[in-house]
């Protein structure tokens, strides 16, 4: 296809198969050309995003089939090595743009978690004798945050919806500023998983609830471990991870703005109240026992 200067071209959309006038748009996922009405992945039932569950999916748009072993492993990270490098490749888990946003948000959230432990515990020092505890705290913080967003993503894609994480400039700055301030709590909302597509209210509410629910379950697990294991440093790590997960759940359950709590509250106020109350109770217990 040749683009002439200062003129529009007529093209045939790969989705609606209509000859429309205007600039063509190429999808970054499937590589096909579409008109302005169907340029977004959710509008042309992109097989690389939603598959057969995507609203409007047409059977002829089948993705390239992979060998059985590749298909089984494509959602997991794999190591690829070369003569000079060793790099981690995520196949089918995050898009390149989403990977950058996830890395930035994870770094800021980990920093916030480290300072949260520093300000809430008089016995812990980042550069002191107890700094080796960061070897356990940092991986737990990463799992807590990334697990929250993956819970949203996996459930959304299971329901045929497009879902990708994006940082929010205001939330990212608030999280970064609160991370270094000497306060016993942190603003932990650097971004959100954006979801597009048609779905019932209960599905959207469930997708929104599963993220804070993951943190509540993980926080409760670490809180129980802190009560069972009597070793002082293990108890400290478990309590700090529980507190970190509690704050993530609390901020995301707030019923306003773009927080998860807004969608849960609109879907079922009783479920929202139960989960929110349980999160507050666990936060108070973690601070009391910590």
Query: For 81-124, how does the pLDDT look when each residue is reduced to its tens digit (9 = 90+)?
Result: 444 433 434 345 778 889 999 999 999 999 988 888 877 776 66
Can you read off the two tokens belonging to residue 251? 């901020």
Task: At 47, list the tokens.
Answer: 């097989």
Give the span between the Cα atoms of 105 and 99, in whole angstroms.
10
Pick from 8-17, 44-53, 59-68: least confident: 59-68
Q: What is the tens place of the pLDDT at every residue in 12-37?
A: 787 777 776 666 777 877 778 888 77
**Residue extent(s) of CATH 4.10.1110.10 domains in the chain:** 23-59
Residue 72 confidence (pLDDT): 40
Q: How confident is the model at residue 63 (pLDDT cuts 50, 70, 90)?
A: very low
CA distance 254 to 50: 29
How far is Cα 119 from Cα 140, in angstroms, rounded to an integer? 18
pTM (2 d.p.)? 0.67
Predicted confidence (pLDDT) at residue 136 exceeds the cutoff of 60: yes
> CA-CA distance, 81 to 87, in Å (whole number)?
6
Do the beta carbons of residue 252 and residue 246 sit within 8 Å?
no
Strand partners for 41: none
pLDDT recorded at residue 34: 81
**∠ CA(198), CA(202), CA(207), 5° rounding?**
80
The arithmetic mean of pLDDT across residues 44-51, rounded, is 65
| 250 band by pLDDT with thresholds 50, 70 and 90 | very high
Between 4.10.1110.10, 3.10.20.30, 1.10.8.60, 1.10.443.10, what CATH number should domain 23-59 receive? 4.10.1110.10
Asked whether the predicted pLDDT for residue 243 surpasses 80, the reply is yes
């Amino acid at each position: 296809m040749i683009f002439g200067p200062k003129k529009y071209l007529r093209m045939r959309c790969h989705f609606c198969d209509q000859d429309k006038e205007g600039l063509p748009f190429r999808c970054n996922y499937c590589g096909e050309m579409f008109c302005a009405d169907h340029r977004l992945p959710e509008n042309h039932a992109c097989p690389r995003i939603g598959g057969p569950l995507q609203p409007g999916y047409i059977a002829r748009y089948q993705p390239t089939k992979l060998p059985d072993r590749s298909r089984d492993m494509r959602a997991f990270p794999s190591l690829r090595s070369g003569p000079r490098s060793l790099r981690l490749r995520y196949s089918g888990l995050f898009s390149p743009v989403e990977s950058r946003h996830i890395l930035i948000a994870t770094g800021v959230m980990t920093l916030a978690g480290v300072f949260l432990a520093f300000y809430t515990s008089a016995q812990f020092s980042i550069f002191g004798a107890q700094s080796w505890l960061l070897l356990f705290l940092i991986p737990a913080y990463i799992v807590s945050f990334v697990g929250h967003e993956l819970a949203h993503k996996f459930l959304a894609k299971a329901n045929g919806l497009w879902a990708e994480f994006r940082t929010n400039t205001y939330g990212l700055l608030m999280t970064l500023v609160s991370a270094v301030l000497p306060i016993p709590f942190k603003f932990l909302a650097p971004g959100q998983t954006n979801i597009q597509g048609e779905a019932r209210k209960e599905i959207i509410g469930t997708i929104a609830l599963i993220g804070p629910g993951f943190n509540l379950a993980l926080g409760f697990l670490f809180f129980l471990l802190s009560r069972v294991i009597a070793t002082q440093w293990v108890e400290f790590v478990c309590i700090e991870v529980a507190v970190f997960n509690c704050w993530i759940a609390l901020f995301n359950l707030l019923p306003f703005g773009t927080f998860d709590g807004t969608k849960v509250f609109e879907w079922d106020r009783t479920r929202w109240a139960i989960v929110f109350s349980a999160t507050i109770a666990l936060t108070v217990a973690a601070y009391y026992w910590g």
